[in-house]
Amino acid sequence: MLTPEQIEGFRLAAGRLIDPINTYLLKDIARRIQDAGKLTSTAAYEAWRAEWLGKDRKELERDLAQLLGVTRGEAKKLLRTAARYGYDTTLSRYPGHLIPFDANPAIQQIVSAAVALAGDELKNITQTKAIMLMDPYGQYQTLPKAYMACTDCAFQQVFTGAADYNTAIRRACSGIVKHGVSVAYASGVHTGLEAAVRRNIMGGLGLMTEQISQQNHDALGCNGWEISAHANSAPDHEPIQGLQYSDAAYEELNNSLVRRIGTLNCGHVASPIILGVTRPQYTAAELEQFRQDNEKGVTFEGRHYTGYEATQMQRRMERAIRAQKRRVLLAGPEDAAPRKSRLVLLQQEYRRFSDGVGLRTEDERLEVSGFGPKQMAEVMKTVEKYSEVRYHEDGSVVVTDDWTKHTHPRVPPRYMPNAIIDVTSQSGKQRDRIFFDAAGKQIRQVSNGPHGNLKRHPYGKHGEHAHDIIWEDDTIVGRPARELTDFERKESSDILESD
């Protein structure tokens, strides 16, 4: 049947089927939230809202229906391809004993039934009323209600002055950015759309391959099963992998497992065999070597990982990178740079960890629909300016982020490595410059005024001064003020008054 590598490939493909829908919905609602935040009157917003509830909503549902049709078509192709691969693998082990895939009516019937069942279940999962988004208030809502809650939030925050445009957009999108597109089940449980579709496809594929295996088992006159084996197995399947069992023993074993062999929740499958005739694919020594290598594992930065645990850490890092790419696609102007920086840092850490534990990176697992080479090039262009601190010919520092036009900007304690942010305070009367170190932590602030209180900041000639940012246990614990050094005066000469 299917090899562990093929199973993993189909699992990846199943999860990616829904990418176009995910990307379409996230980008569409982000665009509409930003549009709502730009409206300047209640009348204009109500007119915009009514238009969305009418024509625009129908367009959304039409576009989704087209995307879902393509997704279901791709799911059918994936299931048929998996069936053929698995059947042909068995055929190669018993040449001349099985009918070719296309000419085997029993197998074709199993595949057709599996494709139809998976298609119906996929349709139920992805129908508009089942798709949910989290609103800004932490509640899952159907698409129309989520759209309205998010756009209402953005408009009201900006219109009432409760938040500036960028902050309002960030708040309105917060639930969507964190939780993405979800599916609601009758039980009340919510799960990510990608995970739901992958579970649906792999469940159908597992059932189909199990039925094909049984059909082959009976056609060949087999009386037993052999469980496949692979490196870095999960603990619950490692003791049983690579072994041969009689029909009765295999059924009893499989019924006792929390994760049954054949459900494709792991990389194991069972192949039909004739006990005493079919030669095991792995010797006892090879299986023991698998076990020892897995247990030996690797130590990375003082922590020991079994081989299996290292692969699971990779999977978590890959999920984090995919999620961050979606955050980049949804980013507003103020959030774009830190989100892009975070993406680069995650990718660097992923490669560093993979190299350190001796696992190959799997870039195909990092792919997100709508985020291709063009988007990655934009990310790298954005973060390149943070590679080092740069200076003009006159010795003044190059500012990486000019936020002086932002209303009430919130400078985060952690940002981009080597970043230098300029903001205004005191109703625009004072200029503040915040410096970040190579780890992306605030390290120093230079201000060209006394924060409106010359008695508390009796420095320089006009109150100009510096604050050193003190960190303890990853938290800012102090910001003592002091006089500027000669170097700092030269470095920030463009915002300091000349003597």
DSSP string, 223-284: -EEEE---SS--TTTGGGTT-EEEHHHHHHHHHH-SS-TTS-SSS--EEEE-TTTSPPSS-H
Length of the chain: 499
- Burial class from Cβ neighbours inside 10 Å (0-12, 13-18, 19+) for residue 17 reads buried
Supply the pLDDT for residue 460: 93
Asked if pLDDT for residue 1 goes beyond 60, the answer is: no
Confidence of residue 96 (pLDDT cuts 50, 70, 90): low
User: Which residue, among 3, 11, 4, has the nearest Cα to 89 in the 3D structure?
Assistant: 3
Helix, strand, or coil (residue 452): coil
Cα dist. 449→247, 426, 442, 460, 480 in Å?
83, 9, 20, 9, 15
Question: How far is the C-alpha of 59 from the C-alpha of 61, rounded, in Å?
Answer: 5
Question: Percentage of the chain with pLDDT > 70?
Answer: 89
Q: What is the pLDDT of residue 498?
A: 63
Which has the higher per-residue pLDDT, 18 or 346?
A: 346
d(CA 410, CA 468): 18
CA distance 200 to 144: 25
Question: 277: which residues sit within 8 A by CB, 6+ positions away?
Answer: none
Q: What's CA 415's distance to the chain center, in Å?
A: 20
For the stretch 40-78, pLDDT in tens is 778 887 887 777 667 677 777 777 777 766 677 777 777
Q: Which helix (H) or strand (E) holds 58?
A: helix 57-93
Average pLDDT rounded to a whole number, residues 401-405: 88
pLDDT of residue 247: 96
Q: What is the pLDDT of residue 16?
A: 66
Integer Cα distance of 52 and 29 in angstroms: 11
**End-to-end alpha carbon distance in the chain:** 82
Residue 471 has pLDDT above 80, yes or no: yes
Residue 494 three-state SS:
coil
User: What is residue 418's predicted lDDT score, i.e. its pLDDT?
Assistant: 92
**pLDDT per position as a tens digit, 237-257:** 999 999 999 999 999 999 999
Beta-carbon contacts of residue 464 (< 8 Å; ≥ 6 apart): 446, 447, 448, 449, 484, 496, 497
What pLDDT is attached to residue 333? Answer: 67
Burial string for 272-310 (b: 16+ CB within 10 Å, else e) reads bbeeeebeebbeeeebeebbeebeebeebeeeebbbbbb
Whether 12 has a pLDDT exceeding 70, the answer reads no
* pLDDT tens by residue, 164-210: 776 777 788 778 777 777 877 767 777 777 777 777 777 777 778 88
Instruction: Tell whether pTM > 0.75.
Output: no
